[in-house]
Structure 1
Amino acid sequence: MIGRGDPPVIRRHDSGDTVSEAQYSACGQYRYALTRIWQPDAPRLLWVMLNPSTASELRNDPTVARCENRARAGGFGGFRVVNLFAFRATAPADLRRAADPTGPDNDAAIATAATWAYVILCAWGMHGDWQGRGAAVAARLRRAGHALHHLGLTQAGAPRHPLYLPRATPMQPWTGADPATQG
């Protein structure tokens, strides 16, 4: 990955049926990508969410568990999670206190992940409008020719976060040119 920071620290774990990989900053404050692959030749799903919490190459947090369940149920062979902000925090308030919540290598990680994936699913929720990141990342991905999807939109037009959505919520194309546009 090409970026502005020190080379990322990549940690891998093979559980026997799933290979996991996490890319962290050298300082450990940022997680740029988290990948799980159980069927290497099948299509891959990319989740673009708000910020990383506690999930690692060794364990899921509730959100990543939900992402994995959806990916498996959807027939994907793996998924990767990237985020608008790479700073690891369990609450949006902690994220807002960070000196550099995005992280020096985050945009490069998002761009790399987008070329890796078969489907890109945006799911950052209502806090993605902070610092204009949701709109900027969506626009950058669209300019690069990537089709975006969502699991529903908030009243403000942001792609809903997956944690509290029913499992049967369908994935839909996000056709609006602007993240605030419904559709």
Structure 2
Amino acid sequence: MYDAISEWAASHRLTVHDNGTLDLAVHDAAETYRYVLTWNWGLGPTITYVMLNPSTGTATANDATLRNCRAIAQHHGYGSLIVLNLFALRSREPQALYSYPDPIGPATDDALTQLLPLGDTVIVAWGRRHSDLHDRASTVAQLLYKKGVATQCLGINRDGTPRYVFRGSAMEPLASGLGMTVSPCRRNDLGGGVTGPGGVRRSR
């Protein structure tokens, strides 16, 4: 996994930061964008999260969101995680996505396309707010659907969007693809939401 990420980063002339072990963060030269982050803590499969945008987390300093991602992953028996995003712009405040000229980042879609297969489980967790900016949730949902990626989530918001990682407890079971359509994320579901059997939204 780590060699594949490093090779992908090199192909885009991106910078790989590591902590001397198996934790990586891939940025552009100015560190305006973070395209992928990994965190390894032991044996077990790898879980991949697709969230809204990166905040301050790096290969050497994990923020609260990443710590919560790890808690969820550990509870479900995973030994490492990968984080990808709808937008690669690094910002503590999602409102910055609206004012920055290119919040998506030039390599984001390729990161999603090439690096999603590295994980054993894909969790969509971009939340309700801001994910419809530039039609990103729907665009990425379509990408996942076309690639046949079987996604899971941490629960479903009332509007059909997948819950953010702070919504709900790490102890809750993952909402799996069982009984759902091929991919829970459907292009025709507003906001790139999660659908139930036959494309009918489920609410909690």
**TM-score where L is the length of structure 2:** 0.81
2:127 to 99, 110, 125: 125
**2:14 aligned partner, one-letter code:** P
What CA distance in whole angstroms lies between the structure 2 residues aligned with 1:145 and 1:2? 24
Task: State yes or no: 1:22 paired with 2:7.
Answer: no
Given that residues 30 and 88 in structure 1 are in contact (C-alpha distance below 8 angstroms), is that contact kept between their aligned partners in structure 2?
yes
Counterpart-to-counterpart distance in 2, 1:169 and 1:14 = 33
1:9 counterpart (15, 18, 21) = 15
Contact 1:10 1:22 in 2 (8 A): yes
Query: What's the secondary structure of 2:35's corresponding residue?
Result: strand
- Using the alignment, how far apart are the partners of 1:23 and 1:2 within structure 2? 7
CA-to-aligned-CA distance 1:64-89 (integer Å, 9 cap, x gap): 00001111121112001110000001
Q: Which runs of 4+ in 1 moved over 6 A?
A: none
Question: Which segments of 5 or more consecutive residues in structure 1 lack a partner in the other structure?
Answer: none
| Per-residue deviation, 1:6 | 5.3
For structure 2, the 5+ residue unaligned runs are 1-7, 196-200
Q: CA deviation at 1:142?
A: 1.7
1:2 Cα offset (Å): 7.3
Structure (1/2) with the larger strand percentage? 1
Q: Is the 8 A contact 2:41 2:80 kept in 1?
A: yes
For residues 57 and 146 of structure 1, the distance between their equivalents in structure 2, rounded to whole angstroms, comes to 26
Identity %: 31
Partners in 2 of 1:68 and 1:111 — Cα distance? 23
Q: 2:45 aligns with which of 43, 46, 50?
A: 43
Query: Contact 2:89 / 2:104 at 8 angstroms: preserved in 1?
Result: yes
Deviation at 1:173, TM superposition (A): 2.3
Query: What is the alpha-carbon distance in structure 2 between the residues aligned to residue 14 and residue 7 of structure 1?
Result: 21
Matched residue SS, 2:19: strand
Q: Which letter maps to 2:18? A: R
Moved more, 126-135 or 46-55: 126-135
Post-superposition Cα deviations, 1:137-166, rounded to whole Å, max 9, x if no partner, equal 111012111101111111211111012422
SS at 1:76's partner residue?
Answer: coil
Superposed displacement of residue 14, structure 1: 3.4
- Matched residue, 2:174: 171
**What pairs with 1:51-66 in structure 2 (closer than 5 Å)?**
51-66=53-68
Contact 1:6 1:25 in 2 (8 A): no
2:157 is the alignment partner of 1:154:
yes
Q: Give, in whole Å, the separation in 2 of the partners of 1:135 and 1:169.
A: 26
Give the AA of the match of 1:94: A
Q: Does 1:137 align with 2:145?
A: no
Q: What is the CA RMSD across the aligned residues, in angstroms?
A: 1.9
